[in-house]
Amino acid sequence: MKHLNLPDRMFFHWCQQQYALNRGVYNTIDNWLHEYGIVDIQYRRINLLAFLEYASAPEQTSGQSRAIKFGKGGLTTKLQEFMAM
């Protein structure tokens, strides 16, 4: 998990390549997790990646870009579901 220690911009680009994530969604997830109480950057990134795996469509094959679609209000709902697990 060497990517956890990347500078923010490089970490975002890595996430973008893996999940076809845009910067706005990335920032929203990161901010939501911080407000939830996950202040430590490494733990927040671990949770961010776990959430992206959780939110990814299971039918996607590994190694390919997996664009995640949330729809209006769907991101917050999905984050709440994830944290309730």
Q: For position 1, what pLDDT does the model report?
A: 73
Residue-wise pLDDT tens digits, 5-60: 999 999 999 999 999 999 999 999 999 999 999 999 999 999 999 999 999 866 45
Q: What is the pLDDT of residue 73?
A: 87
pLDDT at 71 over 90: no
Tokens, residue 49: 């990646």
Q: What domain range is 19 assigned to?
A: 2-84
Assess whether pLDDT exceeds 80 at residue 65: no
User: How many domains is the chain partitioned into structurally?
Assistant: 1
Q: Which two tokens stand for residue 68?
A: 């995640």
- pTM given for the model: 0.85
- Gap between the Cα atoms of 55 and 47, Å rounded: 12
